[in-house]
Chain A
C-alpha cells in the first residue's frame, strides 16, 4: 500500500450534478503532484439482503425503490426475472410493447434530465465558467429555449411512464408474466399530439451534442479518455435493443470478446471484484480477469457495440458518430454525451412507432406458466446494462438476489477518468482552482452515474472541497 502519510488530500464531497452521493479524494505530494485519485461511493444500500424473504411478485415494486431517477429500469429488470420465475418466456404482444413503451419513456426522460439539467452547464458555459452561472438556473437564464425543452422532454417521458406504470415514479405496471394495464386511446392520442415536437427537440439536442464534440474534438479527445472494453445487450441481428437481447462484449478496437451470450449465463462471463475503499464492486470480464477485464457500459458502449440502430434517424446519427473513429469503437469519455443524444432520438422514434401500434390497446395482459426456482432479467438502463438475478423457494419467497447496476460496471472506468483528469489537469499546479476540480466532476458526469439513487438528493447539495495536510489540518476550503 502506498505511504500516504506526508501527502495532502483533496476531497470533493459530494460530487455535484450526479444522481446520489459520492466523493473524490486526490492525494498530492509536497510538489502538488497527484499520487492517487479515487471516486468513492459512500452510501450503503442493502437491497439484495432485505428483499430476501419477500414474496417474488413484490420484487419489481420493492427493488425499484433503490432509485428515484431510473426506477423503471429496476422495475422492468426485476419483472423480466420474475417472468422466468412464473415460467413465461414470451409475453403477450400487448405486455411486451407496454413494457417497451415504459422503458423508452424512461430512457427519454432520464437522458433528457441528464443532458439538459446536469451536463449542459459544462458544455454551454465551459468547465471554468463562474460556478454561479454554471448550473441549470444559469442555463434557464441564458438559454431559455433549451431549459424549456429539457423540462418538457422530461415531462413527456414521465407521462409515458405514468400511462404505462400508473405513476411517474415507482409505479406497478409490470407484473410477473405481463403487465396490469394497456394504453387507452385517450392516453395514446395525448402523446401523439406532442410526438412531432419531441422528435424535433431531440434532433436539436443531438445536434448540440454532436457539434460540441466535433468542434472541440481536439480538446476533449484526451479528456479523461482511455481505451476500454465495452459491454451491451444487442438483438440477435446485432441491432441496438434497450429492452432485451444477448450480451456482447468488444475490446477497444472492436474485436469481439464474446457475442450473443444468453444472459442467463452471465455468471460464466462476468465476475465482481471487491476493494476495501468503496461500497461499490468492480465487475470484470472473467476471461480477461479483474486487472484488464473491466469494461464500460451505457450509451457509449451501446453505440459502439451494436451493428446498427433500427430507427432511421438514430441510425444515421450512429453512422456519423462512428465515422469520427473510422468505424472503430469511440473511447472518448466526452463522447458519452453525443451517444446519449443518439439514444434519446432512438427512444422517441421507438415511442412514435409504438404509439401507432394497436397492440397497445390489446387486453391480453398476463401469462402464467410452470413455476421455476430461478430467474435472471437484464436490460439496458439509461446508464448501462442492468443485471437482476433472483432465486425463489417453494414458498414463493426470494432467497437470493444479485444486482449488478449499471453504474457499478462503470466504476473502474470512472476511476480511470478521474485519475486521468487529475494527472492531466491538477498534478503539479501551484493553485488548484474550482474550475480545475470541476474537470474531475465533468469526467464523472459524462457517465451519468447514479451513485446510489436519490436517497439524499433532496435539497441543496453543495460542493465542498477541502485541502488538508497529512495531519488532517485544513489548508484550504472552497464551497459553492
Chain B
C-alpha cells in the first residue's frame, strides 16, 4: 500500500482511497456505510456473507474484498442492492434459530441491527427450525450456541490471526457446515480464554461470555438509539 490517491465514485459521490485499500475501507473513511456481517476491522477480509455486495462498473462484488481502482463507478445505496441484502439477512434469520425476544445479544447484535436498519420486522421465508444445533456450555467462562451461528468465520480468523490459537474451524460442507473447536470433546478442552479476541468479535449471540447476560439495561445497548452504521456515517464531511 502506498499513499497514491485513487479517486472513484460511490453512488455519484467522489471518494478517495489509497492503493490496496478495499472499497469498504475507503467508503468507511468517507462516511459512507456499506452494510456487513463477516467483515470486522482488524481481521483479514473473508467475503463470505455477501451483505456488503456492491456493483462495480455494473458487476456484483463484495466491498470488503474488492480493492479500489481509479475511476470505478460503485453502486451501494440502490433499490436493487438493498433488496439483495435484505434477502440475505432474511435467509440468515430463517436458517438458524434466532429468537431475538430472549437472546441476551439483543440490542448488541449486528444481525438484529441490520434487520432493523433494513426494516425487516418478520422473515419472509419459512423458518427452517434446524434441530441439530447444540449448545456447548462446557467452558467455565464462555459458551457457544450453535443455534445462532451465521458462519461468518470472525471467530476462526480472530483466534488464528489475533489470538494465535486456532480454537475454531469450520467442519462439514453445504447445509452441514458448522463451527467446530480444536479439541476432541468440547470448548472446555481447548485453550480458549474469556479475554480472547475470538470471543469478542462474534456479531451475533453464538459465542458469549457467561454470567453477564442482560447486565446492560435496555436503553443503553449498542443499537438502542442509533441504527448500525451510524458511527461510520458520522464520518461524512
Instruction: List residues of A whose CB falls within 8 A of some B CB.
Output: 53-55, 57-58, 60-62, 65, 86, 165-167, 170-173, 175-176, 180-181, 366, 395-397
Contacts and interface: CB of A to CB of B under 8 A. Distances in A.
Contact of A172 (B138, B143, B217): B217
B217 A173 contact: yes
A181 B213 contact: no
Nearest to B137: A395
Given A53-B135, A65-B101, A170-B101, A180 B217 contact: yes
B43 interface: no
Given A55-B137, A395-B143, A397-B137, 14 more contacts: A53-B135, A57-B211, A57-B213, A58-B213, A61-B104, A167-B218, A171-B218, A175-B215, A180-B217, A366-B215, A396-B143, A396-B210, A396-B211, A397-B135
Contact of A180 (B101, B102, B137, B216): B216
Interface residues of B, number: 17
Given A61-B102, A395-B137, A396-B137, A172 B218 contact: yes
B214 interface: yes
A174 to B, nearest CB: 9
Nearest to A79: B214
A371 to B, nearest CB: 9
B58 interface: no
Contacts of B218: 165-167, 171-172
Contacts of B137: 55, 395-397
A54 B133 CA distance: 13
Q: When A and B form their complex, which 5 residue pairs have the shortest distance between CB atoms, in order from nearest?
A: A166-B218, A62-B102, A181-B217, A395-B137, A172-B214
A58 B213 CA distance: 7
Interface of B: 101-102, 104, 135, 137-138, 143, 210-219
B175 to A, nearest CB: 22
B102 A65 contact: yes
B221 to A, nearest CB: 9
Nearest to B216: A180
From B135, B138, B218, name the one whose CB has the most chain A CB atoms within 10 angstroms: B218
Interface residues of A, dominant DSSP = loop
A170 B135 CA distance: 24
A90 to B, nearest CB: 19
B214 A175 contact: yes
30 contacts: A54-B135, A55-B135, A55-B143, A55-B210, A57-B104, A57-B212, A57-B213, A57-B214, A58-B213, A61-B102, A61-B213, A61-B214, A62-B102, A165-B218, A166-B217, A166-B218, A166-B219, A167-B218, A171-B218, A172-B214, A173-B217, A175-B214, A176-B211, A180-B215, A180-B216, A180-B217, A366-B215, A396-B137, A396-B143, A397-B135
A57 B210 CA distance: 9
Contacts of B217: 166, 172-173, 180-181
Contacts of B215: 175, 180, 366
A93 to B, nearest CB: 19
Nearest to B214: A172
A173 B137 CA distance: 24
B209 to A, nearest CB: 11
A387 B135 CA distance: 27
Nearest to B139: A395
From A65, A181, A395, name the one whose CB has the most chain B CB atoms within 10 angstroms: A395
A106 B104 CA distance: 23
A181 B215 CA distance: 8
A167 B220 CA distance: 12
Contacts of A175: 213-215
